[in-house]
Structure 1
Amino acid sequence: MFEELFNVFSRRQLSDSDPKLTPLTRTFRNRLIMLLRDHLQSRFGEFLGQLHTKIGYLHGEFQLSNARMQQPDDTLQFVLNCKDEELFDVIELIFKSNLPGITWPDNPLIVVA
Structure 2
Amino acid sequence: MSTITYDDFAKLDIRVAKIIATEPIEGKSRIIKGRIDLGDDDQRDVIIGGAQYYRPEDIVGKTVIVIANLEPKKMAGVESNAMLLAADVDDKPFWLTVTEDVPLGSPIK
Q: Tell me the TM-score normalised to structure 1 length.
A: 0.24
Relative contact order (C-alpha < 8 Å, sep 6+): which is higher?
1
Q: Give 1 or 2: higher helix fraction.
A: 1
Normalized per residue, which structure has more strand?
Answer: 2
